[in-house]
């Protein structure tokens, strides 16, 4: 029985891995169930047994494998910087760390590539767009709150008479554009070695440091 369960789990993971790559290569809507089964080296019946709802169930599980970057950043910041004496410096360090981690996380890169294809999320996949939008809204809320507290601590001042809402949106837009460009062409940026330079460039566009920006995060 144990061997059967292990084999079933291997088949399930093979189907998920096959779908993950095919959704990038062919797109979510153009990938068929037969494509996934063939790439995984199993029968269509095996796919139906593991994922009775087909691509919808497969993508739902893939979506849960790795939370989207805005959501991950938002939750990380919520855990780390609310009690920080220098909230903006803590946010900076978290952004740098996440970019460096992205460089080494091939699976997260693939999930982000799939989720960048917003035109795919219609019909039965419309829920994906709603969840992506919700995670971005949460990210913006926390960045805006971080900037407000950094202003109260005289840690920063905002550039060009920006509001904290405008600054948070610009930070998101700059990071999103940079990450999506890198996902399509890794030679665009060296995330592993230049994450600090890239994050500082983004933050300098919206704020001016009044206090030292360097900080070490506590171990998680």
Q: Report pLDDT digits (tens) over 182-217.
A: 999 999 989 989 999 999 999 999 999 998 888 766
In tens, the pLDDT along 8-33 reads 889 999 999 999 999 988 888 889 99
Same-domain check for residues 89 and 169 = yes
Q: Answer with the residue of higher pLDDT: 191 or 220.
A: 191
Nearest to 70 by CA among 161, 132, 157: 132
What are the φ and ψ backbone dihedral angles of 20, each rounded to 5 degrees? -55, -45
Residue at 106 is within a domain: yes
Same-domain check for residues 97 and 36 = no
The pLDDT of residue 35? 94
The pLDDT of residue 2? 52
User: Residue 102 maps to which CATH number?
Assistant: 1.10.357.10
Contact 179, 108 (CB under 8 A): no
User: Residue 2 maps to which CATH number?
Assistant: 1.10.10.60
Total of domains in the chain: 2
Same-domain check for residues 90 and 172 = yes
Q: Answer with the residue of higher pLDDT: 39 or 62.
A: 39
Same-domain check for residues 150 and 179 = yes
Residue at 219 is within a domain: no
Question: Half-sphere exposure of 192 toward its Cβ, with a 13 Å CA cutoff?
Answer: 5
Same-domain check for residues 114 and 153 = yes
Please report where in the chains the tokens 């940026």 appear, as a residue. 189
Cβ partners under 8 Å of residue 62, min gap 6: 16, 19, 20, 23, 111, 114
Contact 55, 19 (CB under 8 A): yes
Q: Compute CA distances 154 → 87, 183, 200, 211, whole Å.
A: 11, 36, 18, 8
Exposure string for 84-104, b = 16+ CB within 10 A, e = fewer: bebbbbbbbbbbbbbbbebbe
From the centroid of its chain, how far is CA 119? 18
Residue at 217 is within a domain: no
Q: How far is Cα 156 from Cα 152, in angstroms, rounded to an integer?
A: 9
**Has residue 220 got a pLDDT over 50?**
no
**Has residue 6 got a pLDDT over 70?**
yes
Residue at 91 is within a domain: yes
In tens, the pLDDT along 71-123 reads 777 777 777 766 677 889 989 998 998 899 999 988 888 888 888 876 678 78
Same-domain check for residues 175 and 202 = yes
Same-domain check for residues 130 and 197 = yes
Q: Answer with the residue of higher pLDDT: 198 or 70.
A: 198
Same-domain check for residues 112 and 205 = yes
Residue at 142 is within a domain: yes
Domain that holds residue 43: 1-51
Mean pLDDT of all residues belonging to the chain? 87
Same-domain check for residues 79 and 186 = yes
Last residue of a domain, one of 15, 32, 51: 51
The pLDDT of residue 107? 85
The pLDDT of residue 125? 83
Q: Which two tokens stand for residue 62?
A: 């893939």
Q: How far is Cα 169 from Cα 77, in angstroms, rounded to an integer?
A: 16
In tens, the pLDDT along 129-184 reads 888 888 889 889 989 999 999 999 999 999 999 999 999 999 999 999 999 999 99
Same-domain check for residues 28 and 130 = no
Q: Answer with the residue of higher pLDDT: 157 or 64.
A: 157
């Amino acid at each position: 029985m144990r061997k059967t369960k292990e084999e079933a789990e291997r088949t399930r993971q093979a189907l998920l891995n096959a779908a993950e790559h095919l959704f990038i290569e062919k797109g979510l809507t153009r990938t068929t169930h037969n494509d996934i089964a063939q790439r995984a080296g199993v029968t269509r019946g095996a796919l139906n047994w593991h994922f009775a709802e087909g691509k919808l169930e497969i993508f739902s599980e893939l979506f849960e494998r790795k939370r989207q970057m805005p959501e991950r950043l938002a939750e990380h910041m919520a855990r780390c910087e609310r009690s920080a004496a220098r909230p903006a410096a803590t946010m900076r360090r978290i952004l740098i760390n996440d970019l460096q981690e992205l460089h080494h996380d091939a699976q997260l890169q693939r999930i982000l590539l799939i989720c960048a294809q917003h035109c795919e999320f219609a019909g039965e996949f419309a829920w994906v767009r709603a969840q992506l939008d919700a995670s971005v809204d949460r990210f913006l809320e926390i960045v805006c709150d971080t900037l407000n507290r950094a202003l109260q601590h005289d840690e920063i001042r905002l550039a060009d008479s920006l509001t904290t809402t405008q600054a948070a949106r610009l930070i998101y837009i700059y990071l999103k554009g940079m990450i999506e460009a890198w996902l399509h062409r890794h030679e665009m940026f060296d995330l592993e070695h230049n994450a600090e330079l890239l994050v500082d460039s983004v933050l300098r566009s919206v704020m001016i440091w009044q206090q030292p920006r360097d900080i070490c995060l506590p171990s998680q």
